[in-house]
Amino acid sequence: MTLTRDEWLVIRWLAPLAFLHTLIYVFLVPPWQHYDEPGHFLYTAYIIRGGVTAPDDVAIAREVADSMYRHRFWPLGVKPDLLSPLPPGIPTDQRQHPPFYYEVMAWLLSPLRYLPVEHQLYAGRMISAFLMMLTVVTVWRVGVIVFANEPQMAVILALLVATIPAFTDLMSAFNSDVLMNFAAVTAFLGFAILMRDGWRLTGLGLAILGTMVAVLTKRTAVPLLIPLILALIWTLWRRPIRWWVYLAGSVAFTSVLLMVSFTFDSQGLHPRPWLAMVEQEYLRVKIVPWLLSWGNWERAWPWYRLTLEVAHNHFWVRLAWGHIAVWPPVGDWLFAGLSIAAIVGLLRGIWQRTLPTPGWQSRWLWLCVVAVVIAWVALFGRLHPLGDGTPYIPRGRYLYWAMLPATWLLIVGWRQLWPEQWRRLTLYILLVAVAIFDLAALLTLVRFYY
């Protein structure tokens, strides 16, 4: 992956711009006001003071709770009990998540353990801003590889990712999603290299390492294994594959997976021991009830519709704990319109056969489609198993591991809507529209908190 002089020039302004832009969110949002930030910080603080399995450190929990009170985290009149022998109630305990991210952050922040907790928090946020910078540069690099003859497309792609308000807000937080999202983008860079060049150590290493780090960081990234498998198959077999081969392969793969994962007897379906261990130690959900719940379509459909609306809005224009909307309802309707326009453009391009024609570029486009579809299916899967009560409605941040393919499809679909001579101009219009909402997000945060 040798970079040319012109590519280094782009990195020299793109990387600082992405970092400085994210730093605005880092210091504009008051302490503890990012989603689940107190719980993520406290998990790291516990590890610094005793390890993953150590009991709660009441002293650091009290210090965090006191800081949250001083920075008006709770409503007026609500004050944590700092005299209780138990840790104060701090939302939300993150110790059900894999410890990888928190161990890394504990190692980085351990030298700062005696500083005020706010200083430690901002140090963690600045690490997140650095990872956001790397994410944007990695997205640009993917664009350079796939849009080889249109370097401006790579820059537009990177700037779009850098200015999506809700994504930048999350990527400036002390949150394990930051590492997962960067690792997922790194994996997609590996996929692109493999699909363009075939078996290369660089591509294979980035694909496997990125996927592994993402999955070790958060269970949300488990669906990333499917694009990884698909990219490896397409790297192995670079010639065209008939549609019935995909169908037969999918049926065979699913059949083998079911046979090695489940047993069936007169009492019903049961997970095999290895799967039972995985669902208990990692997935935190019973697989059989989860699968059976998908069949209750009549009950699930209303929740699917609500999840589509809520998750889409949170993907683009919801900040902090999801309670701050950017320019409502204009923002919600605009990005809903952009998403619909991109879908229509993609369908138009497929129908008119005007989408990228070289074999590997076409496969890259379908890889992005598969990733986004899987991300949404996995999001709907969080509603299951459906009980008698109201399920938790998952937010758009659970889709961010597929941010790169989603933004890619937005760009490709958007420009397919327009005549050839207008396409370059309309991409800049798209970028300006997103940048305007990024500015609106910053103004919204100022008005809300200050």
| pLDDT tens digits for range 161-203 | 999 999 999 999 999 999 999 999 999 999 999 999 889 999 9
Answer yes or no: is pLDDT of 82 > 70. yes
Question: Any idea which of 62-66, 112-116, 127-131, 263-267 has the lowest mean pLDDT?
Answer: 263-267
**pTM for this one?**
0.94
For residue 354, name the pLDDT band (cuts at 50, 70, 90): low
Q: What is the CA radius of gyration of the chain?
A: 23
Helix (H) or strand (E) holding 262: strand 262-265
Residue-averaged pLDDT of the chain:
91
Distance from C-alpha of 310 to C-alpha of 305, rounded to nearest angstrom: 9
The angle that helices 58-70 and 37-50 make with each other, rounded to 10 degrees, is: 150
Q: How far is CA 305 from the centre of its chain?
A: 21
Provide the percentage of residues in the chain whose pLDDT is more than 70.
98
- pLDDT mean over 366-389: 93
Residue 132 tokens, joined: 């956001």
pLDDT digits (tens, 9 = 90+) for 295-325: 888 889 999 999 999 999 999 999 999 999 9
For residue 275, name the pLDDT band (cuts at 50, 70, 90): confident
Distance from C-alpha of 190 to C-alpha of 402, rounded to nearest angstrom: 14
Question: According to the model, what pLDDT value does residue 373 have?
Answer: 97
The angle that helices 117-146 and 37-50 make with each other, rounded to 10 degrees, is: 110
CA angle, residues 406, 410, 412, in degrees to nearest 5: 115
Q: What backbone phi and psi angles, to 5 degrees, belong to 48?
A: -60, -35
- pLDDT mean over 251-275: 85
Answer yes or no: is pLDDT of 257 > 70. yes
Answer yes or no: is pLDDT of 357 > 70. no
| Bridge partners, residue 271, by sequence | 262
Residue type, 184: A
Q: What backbone phi and psi angles, to 5 degrees, belong to 324?
A: -110, 115
Question: According to the model, what pLDDT value does residue 358 have?
Answer: 60
DSSP 20: H
- pLDDT mean over 256-272: 84
Question: Any idea which of 155-159, 225-229, 279-283 has the lowest mean pLDDT?
Answer: 279-283
pLDDT digits (tens, 9 = 90+) for 416-437: 988 888 888 899 999 999 999 9
